[in-house]
Amino acid sequence: MVENQTAGTDSRQNSEIAALRRDLSFSYRLHIPQDAGSETLILLHGSAADETTLMPLAMAAAPRARLVAVRGRIVQDGDLRWFRRITPTQFDQASIRAETDSFERFIDELIALHTLEPASVAFIGYSNGANLVTSTMLLHPGVIRRAVLLRAMPVLDRVPGCRLVGRTCADDNRSQRRHLCAFRAIACQTAATTSCRCRCAHGSRRS
C-alpha cells in the first residue's frame, strides 16, 4: 500500500517527496534517483520527528544513493519513536527487543522486495533511531554491516557479548574499502560493553 501524504514539519520543506509505503512491517519512503548507483542508505529518524527528517541531508551527501526513510512504529506522548521510554535515560527493555526483532525482519523483507545488495546498504540513525540501529547490531550480529550513529546512547540494560574477530575489508563489496568490523566495534562501545575485540587485515585492534 502506498500512501500519498506528508508527515511532520520536515515533509513540508520538500516540494517533492516519495510516497509513504505500507507494504512491509514498518512504513517507509523509497527515493530512487534517476541516475541511481548501487548504494542504499536506510534512514532512521530521532524522537519527535518523522521519516523525512534525514532525507535532505542524505540527498545532499549521497545524491545517487537510493534512500529508504523508515518511520518508527511507537507513538508516545504524540511523538514517533522506535521504542518506549520510561524516563529520558531509562527505556522499556521489552519494547526495545520487540521492535529490534521486528526491524531485523523488516530488513530482510526490504532487501528481498526491492532486490537490494546487502553489501551496498548502510544505515544512518539519529538519536532514538541510532539507538535502534545499535540495538539491532548487538542483538542481531551481522544483519547491519555499515552504520553511522548520530547522538547514540546506551539503551540496553543487559548487553550481549559479541565477537568481531576475522572481519576484513575483503568480506564486503570490493568497491567499499571500509572495515565493517569497526562499525560493530563502535556499536559495542556505544552500549558500554568491554567484551568486544576486533582485528582487521591490517593488524589494528579495538577492545
Of 94, 82, 189, 91, the C-alpha closest to 132 is 82
In angstroms, the CA 38 to CA 40 distance is 7
Q: Report long-range pairs for 10-14 (Cβ below 8 Å, ≥24 apart).
A: 10/49, 10/50, 10/52, 10/53, 10/55, 10/56, 11/50, 11/52, 13/56, 14/52, 14/55, 14/56
The pLDDT score that the predictor gives to residue 28 is: 98
Q: Which pairing describes strands 90-91 and 121-126: parallel, antiparallel, or unpaired?
A: unpaired
pLDDT, residue 125, reads: 97
Residue 9 CA to residue 198 CA, distance in Å, equals 41
Asked whether 20 and 29 are in contact (CB, 8 A), the reply is: yes
* 185 DSSP 8-state letter: H
Q: Is the pLDDT of residue 19 over 90?
A: yes
- Is residue 178 scored above 90 in pLDDT? no
| Strand 164-165 to 198-199 pairing | parallel
Q: What is the Cα–Cα distance from 152 to 139, expressed in whole angstroms?
A: 16
- Kindly tell me if the per-residue pLDDT of 206 is higher than 70: no
pLDDT digit string (tens) for 72-112?
999 999 999 999 999 999 999 999 999 999 999 999 999 99
Looking at residue 7, its pLDDT comes to 34
